[in-house]
């Protein structure tokens, strides 16, 4: 008897399906670069340069003008560190969407939860006097305040879903815009607006003005000149904790059972209403934690006029989760990949005749294809044909199939 293969299992098929989505998006991007080059009558060499930057943007070290202005590639610590910094909030919003999805919920309210976390972290960080309270403790209080604000905001659609059976998508969209207006109202006329720098009245003060900034833990030496800090390590730890909780604990099992079938979970003695509310609360806390890790970096400004806009980072958590097939560990890599493409887009507009919107189109295609990961995975599984039944000598014959209706009539 042949041993069953274990390498090509469900997890490896999921990874392969995600990589196939990325590969198809990159191929589409290469074709798009060639078409734009032909339309604008640019040399095809520029399309090749653009394609190389899209593939290896964070490894771009500039042009060597002594060698004929050729692009050079190698380890670029600044771009590598910036990728880690930009991926941090994407990982957290991806975790937010992924965890809710495991409970059978679609958390499209991550933008609102992200905004509430942004407001809470900035206000707490700037309101507490760091000459009295140590800056490290203020940072921790600001981070916890952000998580609490996001969790409370996530509870709202969770409560409506659990007790009134209102679709969480509808309530999440409504709470998104309520949060956008509440944040504008909270900062309007507050002492947290930047009135010091000329022309910066539309932004809040940086948390570094109060001495509050995320610790570097040596990442500034490893990625010199970048914004990398320990926030990425916090996101990595939270991703691992999320994986352990959802996959290895009784609480995570209850959440997953509720996502598979609320009726079955209730019949098994589980409190499905509590699971729904807690799932949305945790999802909201994760999204808000991403905002705190981004703005508590110290040198990031926040535009508080949010009444007419929602943060793209909250929505980008959806493709991050989809590309990772809602696996918490996979969200780390998909978040880094999204940040990677974002930096590649900036490099594309700096070193070639293309603009950064080409990279946005490539990201959009990859995001679109990420929704087909289950389809690609199904293709890899293949359709299993039923094995033919061989009649054994001396055994009872198989039962005859019932005659079809048309055969009876004939």
Percent of the chain with pLDDT over 90: 50
Region 168-187: mean pLDDT is: 95
CA separation for the pair 101, 83 (Å, rounded): 26
CA separation for the pair 398, 391 (Å, rounded): 8
Query: 66, exposed or middle or buried, with CB in 10 Å at 0-12, 13-18, 19+?
Result: exposed
Q: What is the CA radius of gyration of the chain?
A: 26
Asked if pLDDT for residue 3 goes beyond 70, the answer is no
Q: Indicate the angle between helix axes 44-56 and 357-370, nearest 10 degrees.
A: 60
Region 2-21: mean pLDDT is: 68
Task: Quickly state the pLDDT bin for 242 (edges 50, 70, 90).
Answer: very high
CA distances from 266 to 75, 146, 163, 247, 261 (A): 54, 32, 14, 20, 9
Average the pLDDT over each of 175-179, 224-228, 348-352 and give the range with the smallest value: 348-352
What is the residue-wise DSSP string for 104-129? T---TTHHHHHHHHHHHHHHHHHHS-
Non-local (6+) Cβ contacts of 172 within 8 A are: 106, 107, 108, 109, 112, 157
Task: Quickly state the pLDDT bin for 90 (edges 50, 70, 90).
Answer: very high
pLDDT in tens, 363-401: 777 777 766 766 776 777 664 444 444 545 554 555 554
Q: Looking at residue 371, what is its pLDDT?
A: 67
Tokens of 342: 């974002």
Region 220-227: mean pLDDT is: 88
pLDDT in tens, 245-277: 999 999 988 888 887 777 777 777 888 899 999
Asked if pLDDT for residue 344 goes beyond 90, the answer is no
Q: Average model confidence (pLDDT) for the chain? A: 85
Tokens of 179: 């949060």
Q: Looking at residue 404, what is its pLDDT?
A: 46
Average the pLDDT over each of 184-198, 295-309, 382-396 and give the range with the smallest value: 382-396
Task: Quickly state the pLDDT bin for 409 (edges 50, 70, 90).
Answer: very low
Percent of the chain with pLDDT over 70: 88
Using alpha carbons, select from 94, 99, 93 the residue that is nearest to residue 258: 99
Q: DSSP 3-state assignment of 228?
A: coil
Please identify, in words, the CATH class of the domain defined by 77-339. mainly alpha
Q: Looking at residue 8, what is its pLDDT?
A: 65
Query: 186, exposed or middle or buried, with CB in 10 Å at 0-12, 13-18, 19+?
Result: middle
At residue 359's C-alpha, the angle toward residues 353 and 363, to 5°, is 170
Non-local (6+) Cβ contacts of 94 within 8 A are: 317, 320, 321, 324, 331, 334, 335
For the entire predicted model, the pTM comes to 0.86
What is the residue-wise DSSP string for 288-353? HHHHHHHHTTSS---B---TT---HHHHHHHHHHHHTTT-HHHHHHHHHHHHHHHHHHHHHHHHSS
Q: Which residue has the higher pLDDT, 260 or 351?
A: 351
Region 78-96: mean pLDDT is: 95
CA separation for the pair 272, 275 (Å, rounded): 5
Question: Phi-psi region for residue 218, left (φ > 0), alpha (ψ -120 to 50) or beta?
Answer: left
Count CB neighbours of 338 within 10 A. 24
């Amino acid at each position: 008897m042949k041993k069953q293969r274990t390498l090509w299992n469900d997890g490896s098929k999921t990874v392969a399906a995600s990589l196939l989505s990325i590969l198809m998006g990159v191929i589409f991007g290469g074709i798009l670069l060639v078409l734009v080059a032909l339309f604008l009558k640019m040399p095809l060499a520029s399309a090749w340069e653009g394609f190389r930057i899209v593939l290896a943007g964070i490894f771009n070290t500039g042009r060597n003008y002594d060698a004929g202005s050729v692009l050079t590639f190698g380890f670029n610590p600044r771009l590598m560190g910036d990728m880690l910094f930009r991926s941090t909030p994407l990982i957290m919003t991806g975790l937010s969407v992924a965890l809710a999805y495991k409970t059978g919920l679609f958390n499209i309210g991550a933008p609102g939860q992200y905004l509430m976390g942004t407001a809470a972290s900035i206000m707490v960080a700037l309101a507490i006097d760091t000459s009295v309270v140590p800056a490290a403790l203020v940072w921790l209080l600001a981070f916890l305040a952000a998580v609490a604000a996001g969790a409370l905001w996530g509870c709202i659609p969770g409560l409506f879903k659990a007790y009134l059976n209102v679709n969480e998508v509808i309530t999440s969209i409504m709470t998104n815009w309520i949060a956008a207006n509440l944040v504008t109202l909270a900062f309007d006329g507050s002492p947290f607006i930047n009135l010091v720098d000329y022309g910066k009245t539309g932004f809040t003060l940086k948390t570094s003005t109060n001495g509050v900034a995320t610790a570097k833990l040596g990442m500034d030496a490893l990625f010199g000149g970048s914004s990398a800090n320990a926030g990425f390590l916090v996101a990595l730890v939270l991703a691992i904790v999320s994986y352990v909780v959802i996959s290895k604990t009784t609480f995570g099992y209850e959440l997953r059972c509720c996502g598979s079938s609320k009726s079955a979970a209730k019949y098994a003695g589980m409190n499905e209403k509590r699971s729904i509310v807690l799932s949305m609360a945790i999802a909201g806390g994760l999204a808000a934690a991403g905002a705190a890790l981004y703005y508590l970096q110290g040198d990031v400004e926040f535009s508080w006029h949010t009444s007419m806009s929602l943060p793209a980072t909250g929505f980008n958590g959806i493709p991050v989760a989809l590309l990772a097939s809602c696996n918490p560990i996979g969200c780390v890599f998909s978040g880094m990949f999204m940040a990677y493409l974002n930096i590649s887009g900036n490099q594309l507009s700096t070193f070639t005749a293309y603009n950064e919107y080409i990279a946005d189109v490539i990201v959009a295609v990859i995001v679109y294809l990420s929704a087909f990961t289950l389809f690609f995975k199904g293709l890899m599984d293949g359709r299993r044909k039923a094995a033919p039944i061989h009649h054994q000598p001396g055994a009872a014959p198989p039962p005859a199939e019932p005659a079809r209706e048309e055969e009876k009539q004939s």
